[in-house]
Amino acid sequence: MKFEKLKKELMNRNINLSYHRMKILEYLDKNRCHPTVDQIFTDIQKTIPTLSKTTVYNTLKKLVEEDLVRVINIEDNETRYDINTEEHGHFKCETCKTIFDFEIKLESIPNDGLDNFKVFDRHVYFKGICPGCLRV
């Protein structure tokens, strides 16, 4: 989703578009590398020195609740955030640590064992080595 759309989306839901929220949203839109709270905080703090980490936590929590941001748990001890909430899988390169997006049709996953389950949320992630790192 594009930034402008996101803004509208927030307004539709009566979520106050405060300066800090705007900045965090803008950051997520420009940095689609699945940043951690700490990366978000450290980077934005350069522009807004008074920003508190708690505000980043609060804002992200809000955005996740509203399904405008998605949480990614690949590694223990590092929670990442993705503004791309469209259906896609993640690939983490174990060499350069980059997290790549890839297309995946999640409904196409056969899951006979879950006939009587109500599924809200599907996550897929792979680990391995990316083409760039393989080439070396």
Q: Within 10 A of 8 (CB to CB), how many other CB atoms are there?
A: 13
Interface of this chain with its own copies, residues 30 to 89, rule: CB under 8 A: 71, 73-77, 79, 89
| Nearest distance in Å: CB 87, DNA | 24
Distance in angstroms (rounded) separating the CA atoms of residues 81 and 9: 18
Q: Which does 120 bind (CB under 5 to 8 A by kind): its own copies, Zn ion, Mn ion, none?
A: its own copies
Q: Which does 127 bind (CB under 5 to 8 A by kind): its own copies, Mn ion, Zn ion, none?
A: its own copies
Q: Which of 2, 47, 112, 136 is the binder for its own copies (CB under 8 A)? A: 112
Distance CA 3, CA 110 (A): 35
Chain-centroid distance of CA 122 in Å reads 14
Which CB atom, from 51 or from 82, has the smaller least distance to Mn ion? Answer: 82
Question: What is the H or E stretch that residue 93 is in?
Answer: strand 89-93
28 binds DNA (CB under 7 A): no
